[in-house]
Structure 1
Amino acid sequence: MNKWLICGIAAVMATLAGCATGEQEWKQLPEASRTLGASESNQTVQVRVGEYVKISLKANPTTGYTWFFRVDKDRKQTGSAVELVGERLIMPEEDNQLVGAPGVKEVMVRAVAPGFAYVIGECKRPWEHGQRPALTVKYGFVVVR
């Protein structure tokens, strides 16, 4: 058998094995002081420097839609009040997993400095450039000492 074909099959097998858990690597982080969901979108929360907040949203990557998050800081600040420090996709247990079954996208946010910033999440297909996101969430963070 061709050595390139064997390498290709091995690479595909390794990729599938890595996707079996449906979970991206998640850094060991302290517990979140609170969890925000879709119902808290467009709200502002107050957190203290050093606190962690988890954003937890329904996700179904089999549809092609993926959540993309970014921090939009107050332009008067030199640095951002918050930072994105980790994310993961949690899919149903393998025993109960159905093709197309939804999962949960979790994003961890850390308050780093006094100030204000938004965390914005957009659910979109990465290959559809110039299209509006299917869903958008926006959370305001007021960070205090």
Structure 2
Amino acid sequence: MHAPLRLLTLSALALLTACAHQSGTLELKKDRQCPLTLTKGQLLILSLPSNPTTGFRWMLRDTATNVLQSLGPEVYTNPEDAGLVGAGGISTWRFSAREPGEGRLLLTYQQPWEPSVPPADTFDCELRVK
């Protein structure tokens, strides 16, 4: 392969790799994966263990609206193979990194009718979109 053609091919591959990374999806399951750096346009999927049959729910406290756009409401799923009434499942939210900047994704796991009781769990993640 001629040197100019090889350079053009390598440049094209590098550009494709960068574009694939930029529009890639990041799946987040624990705040130990934080802080996060996202690229504008990148999809963020947050999945947390949940069991609404206990009355506990994940409450969105801060959704980093300055840098993230919500792509819909929470979606709750439970494993089909659990076979137990009242078994827990997963709550999932989808966001798109919309603007460069910094923000915070904060959720608390608590019973909504008990706002003065400390949450049973907290998810707290600092974000940066570039």
TM-score, with length taken from structure 2: 0.72
Report what 2:25 is aligned to: 33
The number of residue pairs the alignment matches comes to 107
2:62 to 47, 52, 71: 71
Distance 2:54 2:24 in 1: 29
Q: RMSD across aligned C-alpha pairs, in angstroms?
A: 2.1
Residue 129 of structure 1 and its aligned partner are, at CA, apart by 2.4
For the pair 1:55 / 2:42, whether they are aligned, the reply is no
**Bigger CA radius of gyration:** 2
Q: 2:38, 2:127 within 8 Å by CA — same for their partners in 1?
A: yes
Q: Deviations over 1:43-87 (max 9, x none)?
A: 2111111111111111111111001124355xxxxx701132222
> 1:55/1:120 Cα in 2 relative to 1: closer, same or farther (>3 Å)?
same
Runs of at least 5 residues in structure 2 that lack an aligned partner in the other structure: 1-22
Runs of at least 5 residues in structure 1 that lack an aligned partner in the other structure: 1-30, 74-78
Distance 2:24 2:91 in 1: 15
List, as ranges, runs of 4+ consecutive aligned residues in structure 1 with deviation greater than 3 Å: none
> 1:135/1:96 Cα in 2 relative to 1: closer, same or farther (>3 Å)?
closer
Report what 1:123 is aligned to: 109
Report what 2:68 is aligned to: 82
Corresponding residue SS for 1:62: helix
Distance 1:55 1:121 in 2: 11
Identity of aligned residues (%): 29
Report what 2:78 is aligned to: 91
> 1:109/1:125 Cα in 2 relative to 1: closer, same or farther (>3 Å)?
same
